[in-house]
Amino acid sequence: MLKAVMLQLSLILVITGCALLFGGTLAGLSVLLGGLSYALPSLLFALRLNRLTRVASASGNAYPLEFFFGEAIKILSTIGLLA
């Protein structure tokens, strides 16, 4: 999951550079902020999921409610940042 988020962040930087080059400062800033508003909640969710996976494997218990709670927080955070 963390690899996917790092790939997203890398692509955000590449696309921001293209937007700066072809569309100017405002376009670059728009791409950067829009991309980060999605990638940052995803990064926090991935870190939380990584921690939950370690805890679950150590204790032998699964935590599906924690997963869905984290996903709901991620979605609400993304909506809040895009609004």
Higher local confidence (pLDDT), 67 or 56? 67
pTM (predicted TM-score): 0.77
| Backbone φ/ψ region at 51: left (φ over 0), alpha (ψ -120 to 50), beta | alpha
11-26: pLDDT as tens digits? 999 999 999 999 999 9
